[in-house]
Structure 1
Amino acid sequence: MMPAYFISHGAPSLVLDEHEYTTFLKSFADSQPKPKAIALFSAHWESRTQTISQVPDAYETIYDFGGFQDELYQMKYPAHGDKELSDEIGRLFKSHGIDSAVNVERGLDHGAWAILKLMYPDADIPVVSLSVNRYLSNEEQYQIGQALAELREKDIMIVGSGGTVHNLRRVDWRAAQAEPWAVAFDRWLEEKLLAWDTEALFQYRAIAPHAVEAVPTSEHFIPLLLAMGAGDRTRQAKLLHRSYQYGTLSLSCWRFD
């Protein structure tokens, strides 16, 4: 069965960086099963109603950031959509009582294309982009992931793209190592993920150390719960990589088998 993944996308410049995390992502395709298609939840697409992309052709590339290298704004990631998969996702949501809508115009934001360009640079795997809704409970986020779990049996890779520690207000562009509070939060998170302790994870903001600093707003954390929910049947979590950039951004990849 195809694993589900949580993959941090870091700063937009990630796709131009050269460090241990980009090396990991560039080798991802060689070390993990190749999917038939990818269903990807991006922290940078927020909507009150769960929305499913259904582009008729190749995606436009969205540059939803400012002040970075000129080269970034020339990059393209012309992956194609997959209408059949979009329709199937809509049916799965409906069967689980989850309201959804279709968007036929929106391109891929950097939460999607930056990591995909490193992992699958040829853009030869169909992609269905999915929104996140920060106004749902953590349990509801997990249930959305659960609703798509059976796609894994059809070689569909479910990806949540975000960041477990994502505090832009405290970024230090010259930092050589992570802030201690960021590491403490991620270590707590690792313990709960490996134990599949959903009760604690759903309450992370109240009980995890330094949760407010690590997760000042929830949209980047939500994709972790979505990907984890997709792994509910087997409940096996594995940390594939973790490092940090700029002191307050975690670069991690979790696999849910």
Structure 2
Amino acid sequence: MDTFFISHGSPRMLIKEMPARRFLESWKAEHFPAAPKAILVVSAHWETAEPAVNFIEGPNGAIHDFTNFPKHMYELKYPAPGAPEIAKRVKQLLHEAGFDGVEEDSSRGLDHGAWVPLMLMYPEANIPVCQLSVQPSKDGTHHYNVGKALAPLRDEGVLIFGSGSATHNLNLQGPDDEPPPTWAMDFDKWLTDSLINGRHEDVKQYEEKAPNAKTAHPEPEHFYPLHVALGAAGERAKAELIHHSWGCWSISYSSYRFKTA
């Protein structure tokens, strides 16, 4: 099974017509028609010192971790079943790969990096979901190796996708109808070229290799889900750009499929 990186952008895609919303709404018809056994989401919005996975019995709760949105946005829910057996398997695989400090969280629901795209991709909310955190204090290689450890899940019917943003600088945003800034376009182009041409080492070391890396990602948490998804696809994975659009002037919604060999 292939893995994916999805740029989830802003929760406003649930209340505004935009290309990224149409992309996610077409997910089952155009990108992934097979129903997975379960879904593992690596979200930019769960940050921990060491990898953590949520062990949820019963339906997942929804964390409304955003501000200044219409009231009804805070009433939205995505009660997909938890996936405790998959969470247990995630912890086992990470432990076998040398990640000994994996934490369990039995109360944390899905943050908006998970439930916002899932609400558009799988609106029925009937597929079990668990979530894995990122570690902003670590680097791209660490997250790639986390993904590499989780690769067996692909053959066990689990859809793995990272949820972040191809570019993410909240201090440099603007109108949707303005052309994106050069720094964002240059980084976005570098990322696509690097992935399609198999330069995985460059992607792992993006802070040194990519143009405008610190401007595109002042903090790394929205980029590391891509490294996990890429690592889970394997060293011979082939990348495909499956969506490309812009929002808030500088936010790239570039999303990728990593085809496993």
TM-score (norm 1): 0.96
Amino acid of the structure 1 residue aligned with 2:221:
E
Check conservation: 2:24, 2:117, Cα contact below 8 A: yes
Structure 1, unaligned runs of 5 or more: none
Structure-2 residue corresponding to 1:165 = 167
Structure 2, unaligned runs of 5 or more: none
Structure-2 residue corresponding to 1:224 = 226
Q: Report the Cα distance in structure 1 between the residues aligned to 2:84 and 2:104, rounded to whole angstroms.
A: 10
Q: Report the Cα distance in structure 2 between the residues aligned to 1:83 and 1:199, rounded to whole angstroms.
A: 33
Q: Report the Cα distance in structure 2 between the residues aligned to 1:164 and 1:170, rounded to whole angstroms.
A: 14
Check conservation: 1:8, 1:162, Cα contact below 8 A: yes
Q: CA deviation at 1:90?
A: 0.9
Amino acid of the structure 2 residue aligned with 1:196:
G
Q: CA deviation at 1:82?
A: 1.2
Structure-2 residue corresponding to 1:36 = 37
Amino acid of the structure 2 residue aligned with 1:78:
P
Number of aligned positions between the proteins = 256
Q: Is 1:49 aligned to residue 50 of structure 2?
A: yes
Correspondence for 2:107 among 76, 88, 105: 105
TM-score (norm 2): 0.95
Correspondence for 2:254 among 217, 235, 252: 252
Check conservation: 1:177, 1:245, Cα contact below 8 A: no
Q: Is 1:18 aligned to residue 20 of structure 2?
A: no
Correspondence for 1:150 among 152, 164, 175: 152
Structure-1 residue corresponding to 2:82 = 81
Output aligned runs, 1:92-241, within 5 Å. Answer: 92-99=93-100, 100-241=102-243
User: Deviation digits for residues 101-122 of structure 1, max 9, x if unmatched?
Assistant: 1100001110000000010001
Q: After the TM superposition, which segments of 4 or more aligned residues of structure 1 sit over 6 Å from their partners?
A: none
Q: Report the Cα distance in structure 2 between the residues aligned to 1:248 and 1:78, rounded to whole angstroms.
A: 32
Q: CA deviation at 1:48?
A: 0.4
Q: Report the Cα distance in structure 2 between the residues aligned to 1:10 and 1:51, rounded to whole angstroms.
A: 23
| SS of match in other structure, 2:154 | helix
Amino acid of the structure 2 residue aligned with 1:176:
E
Q: Among all aligned residue pairs of Structure 1 and Structure 2, give the percentage whose two residues are the same amino acid.
A: 39
Structure-1 residue corresponding to 2:59 = 58
Structure-2 residue corresponding to 1:7 = 6
Check conservation: 2:6, 2:255, Cα contact below 8 A: yes
Structure-1 residue corresponding to 2:70 = 69
Q: CA deviation at 1:175?
A: 4.1
Q: CA deviation at 1:21?
A: 1.4
User: Deviation digits for residues 188-236 of structure 1, max 9, x if unmatched?
Assistant: 1111111221221122112211111111110000001110001115411
Q: Report the Cα distance in structure 2 between the residues aligned to 1:175 and 1:206, rounded to whole angstroms.
A: 31
Check conservation: 1:35, 1:155, Cα contact below 8 A: yes
Amino acid of the structure 2 residue aligned with 1:3:
D
Check conservation: 2:94, 2:146, Cα contact below 8 A: yes
